[in-house]
Amino acid sequence: ADINVVYVNPFERTVTPEMQRYTCLSPNLYHFEMPSIDFSADIPVDDDGFVLDYPDLFRRVWPRP
C-alpha cells in the first residue's frame, strides 16, 4: 500500500510531505520503501502488528518477542 505522510521537523520548522510504500511479505514481515531517499527495509512485526525491529533505528526491548 502506498501512503502519504507528513514529516514535521520542529527544530527546522518544516513540514514535508512524503510517500511511503508498505508490502506485506508474510503475516509478520513487511517491506518498507521510501522512494524519495532511495531507502528500503524489511520490518518484522509481532502478532498484534507492533514493530519488533526497525533496522538502523530501533529494536523493541519489552515485552520480549
20 CB-near residues (< 8 Å, 6+ apart):
2, 3, 4, 5, 32, 33, 34
| Residue listed under C-alpha cell 514493530 | 51
Share of the chain above pLDDT 70, in %: 97
Task: Identify whether 46 is part of a domain.
Answer: yes
Closest to 2 (Cα-Cα) out of 18, 21, 17: 21
Task: Identify whether 41 is part of a domain.
Answer: yes
What pLDDT shows up at residue 56? 86
Task: Identify whether 42 is part of a domain.
Answer: yes
pLDDT beyond 70 at 55: yes
Domain of residue 36 covers 2-59
Task: Identify whether 65 is part of a domain.
Answer: no
Task: Identify whether 28 is part of a domain.
Answer: yes
Closest to 45 (Cα-Cα) out of 15, 16, 25: 25
What pLDDT shows up at residue 21? 98
Task: Identify whether 39 is part of a domain.
Answer: yes
Cα gap 60→40, rounded to integer Å: 19
What pLDDT shows up at residue 8? 96
Kindly report whether the global pTM for this prediction surpasses the value 0.85.
no
21-49 tens-digit pLDDT? 999 999 999 999 999 999 999 999 999 99
How many structural domains is the chain composed of? 1
